[in-house]
């Protein structure tokens, strides 16, 4: 099911981002998404959509409408903006400036967040790492860097899918300890 979720975009102006509803209770505020694909009520299909980033595909419409760039800082909900501000108020000022100047579907911070999905807390080191990655990307923005970001985006997606399938096999009693990982 397609739904809209409020995000803060260019110039700090709210807009509706398009998403696929993959979690029970998911709403436009972003408040009911705690746990992401690790949520206890997530179905295998929901986990697959989240880990494969298939739930992000409707955002191509936001790119066409001009709300998002293809590459940039991931626009946040008002709730997640508060988390980022509490995590590091000084870093947040730089990050927010770039986030409202260059919001995008994919970016370096998005890749970090995708690998560690569900690991956010208000004071999380991950939140700080994501903000630093986004600021560093924006300060050195170039076409070469954008192409590299787009080219490397599938890596955390594939890694997340691999880990999901590996844990599912472990739940089903299949021995996965002796298998070596090439991802």
The arithmetic mean of pLDDT across residues 61-68, rounded, is 93
Confidence bin at 118 (pLDDT 50/70/90): low
The arithmetic mean of pLDDT across residues 87-116, rounded, is 86
Confidence bin at 165 (pLDDT 50/70/90): confident
The arithmetic mean of pLDDT across residues 76-86, rounded, is 90
The arithmetic mean of pLDDT across residues 66-89, rounded, is 91
State pTM to two decimals: 0.71
The confidence score (pLDDT) of residue 109 equals 83
| Residues in CB range of 172: below 8 A, 6 or more apart | none
What does the mean pLDDT of the chain come to? Answer: 80
Higher pLDDT, 92 or 56: 92
pLDDT digits (tens, 9 = 90+) for 11-62: 999 999 998 877 666 555 555 444 454 556 677 777 777 777 777 788 989 9
């Amino acid at each position: 099911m397609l739904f809209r979720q409020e995000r803060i975009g260019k110039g700090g102006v709210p807009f509706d981002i398009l998403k696929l509803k993959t979690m029970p209770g998911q709403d436009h505020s972003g408040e009911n998404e705690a746990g992401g694909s690790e949520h206890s009520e997530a179905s295998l299909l929901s986990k697959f959509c989240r880990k494969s980033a298939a739930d992000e595909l409707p955002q191509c419409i936001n790119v066409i409408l001009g709300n998002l760039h293809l590459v940039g800082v991931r626009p946040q909900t008002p709730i997640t903006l508060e988390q980022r501000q509490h995590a590091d108020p000084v870093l947040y000022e730089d990050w927010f400036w770039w986030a409202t100047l260059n919001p995008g579907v994919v970016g370096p911070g998005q890749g970090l967040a995708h690998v560690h999905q569900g690991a956010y807390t208000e004071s999380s080191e991950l939140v700080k790492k994501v903000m630093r990655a986004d600021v560093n990307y924006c300060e050195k923005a170039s076409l070469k860097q954008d192409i590299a970001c787009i080219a490397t985006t599938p890596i955390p997606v594939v890694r997340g899918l691999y880990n999901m399938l590996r844990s599912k096999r472990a739940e089903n009693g299949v021995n996965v300890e002796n298998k070596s990982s090439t991802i």
